[in-house]
Amino acid sequence: MLARRLSPQNNYETFNNAYHKSKEIVLSAIVMDERSDKCDEMKKREVMELYKSAIKHFETALRYAKQNMPSDKADEVEKHRVAVEKNLRSTKGRLGDLEKMYPPTSKGRTAVARVQPNQKPTVAVAPSSNGLRAGRTTGRGNGSADRGRCQTIGRTKMSRADLLKGVDDKFGGPLLDEILDITGLQMSDIEGAESAKKALEEAVILPAINPSLFSGLRQPVQGILLFGPPGNGKTMLARAVATECGSAVFLNISAATLTSKWVGDAEKIVKALFQIARNGQPSIIFIDEIDSILCERSDKETEVSRRMKTEFLIQMDGICSSKTDRLLVIGATNRPEELDTAVLRRFPKRILVDVPDEKARANLVAALLKKHKTASDLTSCQLRELATKTEGYSNSDIVALCREAAMVPIREMSRRQLKQATEAQVRPIQISDFESALMAIKPSTNQEMRRKLRHFAEVSGQMVGITRAIKRKPLGTSQLRIN
């Protein structure tokens, strides 16, 4: 009854406080959950108490989200409400898993000291509207999981106040929802794109391992452009870079994030974006489909778009930037020729992420079948044959092909058989199933697109053979001239 008598502004303030408090508590719980071992029952019970506290604040936020809100805050509240619902489901799921592993004591309550309600937690990363993850697995055994845990411990802990230092909350607050959790994805988890992985390792990962060696001429670049046909793992490469170089903040930005219906707000959002990234160093700003934001300037574009591009260029490499900033901007596009020349200059490392080669396609099919525990009768020879037939297929096309092939044995069963069948009763996938799938799944990229991208790589980017080009034969004595 009390909530109904509150004014819209009071409802908004109560909702906003509960929303931000729940995020701080649950992210503090995630950090503790990741850092504690399964055998440390006391720590895990503390984590459970934090999750329970976060759930209460999530439920409070949802309760007040249904009340009257100021008209200018309706869109913000709705966006946060969706994030709260998703995060609440994830938190309850993780709490349920922990309660199964560590059931209550005989007295009906957990044997752990109560967490102080006024305790101010610190977080490794801000939450994402895509959901929260407490556990981390990479699907490659304990080694990868241990690596991901060690890198999480090594990251700088940043609170909301630290990230928003010197930033207007009106513009910086929504940007914190674009910060994604580091998933522990490693470069070795990605099939193919070997040249792109090598270039990214030299440009980003190696300088993070020993920064003292990479100064002066070896100073790492602050802008990397990943271009290539769609569906080949450009986004996954960016997230793997964030994991392996130990970035504290990974901002996933799109055109919708930077644009606003109010004139003058777009450039303020861009300024807030870079300030948050500098506050959370080392940081990565990832801009997918960057050509939709920073395309070539022309007389036909609006003044708002021009001012936003100008502010972006100034913040990335202008009087407001510093060469000592541990800030990396990664852009991804399949139309690099449409980018403004000033934008290209700020991305000195331009890497082609092409479709997978024959070996990578065979490995990807085998990895997908193994990951999803799908029975198959494919031999190594048949895998190579399939890889030959899928020339020009992207990674996403290969995934779609495997899904289509996996459905062929299901289509052979009647509804009555399907109702009672188990996974063991479904026949293994055969090479004939993939041949049928090839009739339905065609490559999403064409030769003309690949030709344009390779031409751009030859003129302005980095090709596969760049490493071989650097390794020139030493000069002979007849070629040396001593002055």
The residues near 109 (Cβ < 8 Å, ≥ 6 apart) are: none
Domain boundary, last residue among 96, 113, 130: 113
What is the pairing mode between strands 223-227 and 249-253?
unpaired
Q: Are residues 458 and 414 in the same domain?
A: no
Torsion angle (degrees, nearest 10) of CA 74, 80, 83, 87: -130
Strand order in the sheet with 223-227: 249-253, 283-288, 327-333, 223-227, 349-352
In this structure, what token pair is assigned to residue 366?
């085998």
The phi, psi pair for 322, rounded to 5°, reads -135, 140
Q: Are residues 149 and 294 in the same domain?
A: yes
User: What pLDDT is attached to residue 5?
Assistant: 57
Q: Are residues 171 and 260 in the same domain?
A: yes
Q: Is the alpha carbon torsion for 149, 155, 156, 157 positive or negative?
A: negative
CB 172 within 8 A of CB 164: yes
Q: What is the CATH number of the domain that holds 385?
A: 1.10.8.60
The count of domains in the chain is: 3
Q: Are residues 415 and 451 in the same domain?
A: no
CB 325 within 8 A of CB 368: no
Question: Exposure of 117 by Cβ count < 10 A (0-12 exposed, 13-18 middle, 19+ buried)?
Answer: exposed
Query: Tokens 């399939």 label which residue?
Result: 386
Q: What is the CATH number of the domain that holds 97?
A: 1.20.58
**In a domain? residue 120:** no
Q: Are residues 362 and 339 in the same domain?
A: no
**In a domain? residue 480:** no
**In a domain? residue 128:** no
Q: Are residues 232 and 343 in the same domain?
A: yes
User: What pLDDT is attached to residue 95?
Assistant: 87
Q: Which range of residues forms the domain containing residue 19? A: 1-113
**In a domain? residue 51:** yes
Measure the CA–CA gap between 451 and 205, rounded to whole angstroms. Answer: 30
**In a domain? residue 483:** no
pLDDT beneath 70: ranges in the chain: 1-6, 38, 105-158, 182-183, 247-248, 318-321, 462-483
Q: What is the CATH number of the domain that holds 179?
A: 3.40.50.300
**In a domain? residue 481:** no
Q: Are residues 254 and 339 in the same domain?
A: yes
Q: Are residues 229 and 362 in the same domain?
A: no
**Per residue in 255-285, pLDDT tens?**
888 888 888 899 999 999 999 999 888 888 9
User: What pLDDT is attached to residue 138?
Assistant: 37
User: What pLDDT is attached to residue 259?
Assistant: 84
Q: Are residues 47 and 170 in the same domain?
A: no
Measure the CA–CA gap between 72 and 444, rounded to whole angstroms. Answer: 42
Measure the CA–CA gap between 233 and 394, rounded to whole angstroms. Answer: 9
Global pTM value: 0.62
The residues near 116 (Cβ < 8 Å, ≥ 6 apart) are: none
Name the packing angle between helices 431-440 and 380-389 (round to 10°): 10
Q: Are residues 79 and 94 in the same domain?
A: yes
Q: Are residues 147 and 272 in the same domain?
A: yes
**In a domain? residue 460:** yes
**In a domain? residue 123:** no
Q: Are residues 154 and 226 in the same domain?
A: yes
User: What pLDDT is attached to residue 155?
Assistant: 45
User: What pLDDT is attached to residue 239?
Assistant: 86
Q: How many CB atoms lie within 10 A of CB 313?
A: 18
CB 405 within 8 A of CB 440: no
Query: Tokens 């990363």 label which residue?
Result: 125
